[in-house]
Amino acid sequence: MQILRYEIEHHAAYPWQLVQGRICHLRLRTGEALQSAAVLYGDPFWFSGAEKQPVLARSEMQPALRCSGEQYYSVSVPMRTHKLRYHFVLTLEDGDTVYLSELGVTPPLSESVLRPFNVPYVYAGDHPAPPDWAEGFLWYQIFPDRFCDGKENRGSEDFIPTRENFFGGTLQGITGKIPYLRELGVQGIYLNPIFRSDSNHRYDTVSYTELDPRLGGKTDFRVLVETLHQAGMRIMLDGVFNHCGWRHPFWQDARLHGKASRYYDWFCVYDAGELSRLPLEQLSDRRMKVNPPYECFAFAANMPKWNTENPEVIRYLVSIAEQWTREYGIDAWRLDVPDEVSLRFLHAFRTRMRSCNAAVYVIGEIWQDAAWWLEQSVFDGVMDYPLYHAIRDFAMTHTDPLETFAHRIRRWYAATPEAVHPYQWAFCSNHDVPRALSLCGGHEPPYGLYAGGLPGAAGDGGAAGRQSERVLWG
């Protein structure tokens, strides 16, 4: 028996273990292929017979993926109750049988000394439960200022889009394009921020209760949402709750009155005495690499950071999102930079959104490996940047050979349970990265397609100005 060369591994945690409803998805990894693998499972307190032997069922595991000398096996088992114990029975190539439990790899052991893996009592809200409609859903990203103004003219062709200029896109213009979008096969639209702001990208929110007047009024928005729903389509809003804009009234109150302000603790301030002495023109310089006397987003000092550990801030921001969801029938939220937002906020957000719409879909903008975030059950899925980077480096920039691409895809697959794949947000470009066809040396229209579990077409790709082609469709 040569156990060491198999390097058998499993952990009772995501992504090795994923519970969805009454189904538990299990995965294990070995260094080399086994002759067979099975799992014995049941309720930890369910016994039978005078000797009180545990009642266990057996399911055979199937090879799911081979990656760089590693073999992954997976199986999905039903949970008769809300708890689960399990251990693996593995047959090596030489015919010997070993167990895998919390004790590690051992010879077959009696139940009296075996320490099985466990799934604790499963409450509905403790594990990912994406809405059924979100599986494989195809989203169309719209950068509102750059899409359509609703007029017969087709917009300006005389200047290149930048972070500062405006092209005049409106909500009415988007509404007028819904038949076209539906004809494309799009199932829903994702809008970059639409709340009142000072910039064309609108990630510097001045008021969460107002629509940016450049885009139109609340009647225009209501018509947009109703028209989408009548067409059998859905809408997703961009929730920017990590930071706000410089002119947000709560931040101005904190800046001017320091610790005397009701809102001082709503932000992450280092030195109250310096707040009122820092001029705004310095704050708008994105090249600033030294933080001002408060925390902000990405050294962008004109976007002060909310203190999302503060219960008052949580109540304020979550209530705003709840109001929009209830009043307008919002179907989904994309949360901006949620890895800088408190876990307490994220739990409160998803819980409240589900309370007003049981089928709401919440996705997080996580650029790195998102296993930890998915394990926390605060998102129904994440923007799949590891998959995007693999596709970009192979298919767009041609910096990776096929072998490297295959390796990265297998690694991506192994890091994410199959059950989550249909709800991940796969994409080929968006507003934060260059357009796919620009990277390929081509040309594309100003939109992004996103799909749960399926790479979509190219996106806005840094709508602040990475391309000079027409950016406003009429």
What is the end-to-end Cα distance of the chain in Å, rounded?
71
325-352 burial string, b = 16+ CB within 10 Å, else e?
A: beebbbbbbbbbbbbebbeebbebbbeb
Pair type for strands 381-382 and 361-364: parallel
Residue 34 contacts residue 44 (beta carbons within 8 Å)? no
Encoded tokens for 188 = 């829903």
Q: Exactly one of 212, 331, 336, 460 is catalytic; which is it?
A: 336
CA distance 295 to 32: 49
Q: DSSP class of residue 92? A: -
CA distance 255 to 264: 8
Q: Which residue, among 363, 432, 433, 445, has the nearest Cα to 203 in the 3D structure? A: 432
> CA 185: distance to chain centroid?
23
Task: Indicate the length of the chain as a whole number.
Answer: 474
Which residue intervals of 217-284 are DSSP H helices?
218-230, 249-257, 272-275, 280-283
CA distance 48 to 95: 30
Those residues whose C-beta lies under 8 Å from the C-beta of residue 136, and which sit 6 or more positions away, are 422, 451, 452, 453, 454
Encoded tokens for 113 = 């000394």
Query: Tokens 């609703």 identify what position?
Result: 150
Q: Exactly one of 212, 365, 384, 444 is catalytic; which is it?
A: 365
CA distance 392 to 394: 6
Encoded tokens for 381 = 């899925």
Those residues whose C-beta lies under 8 Å from the C-beta of residue 258, and which sit 6 or more positions away, are 264, 272, 273, 275, 276
Active-site residue flag, 126: no
Encoded tokens for 464 = 């602040």
Residue 42 contacts residue 66 (beta carbons within 8 Å)? no
Query: Residue 448: phi, psi to the nearest 5?
Result: -130, 140
Active-site residue flag, 380: no
Q: What residues are labeled active site? A: 336, 365
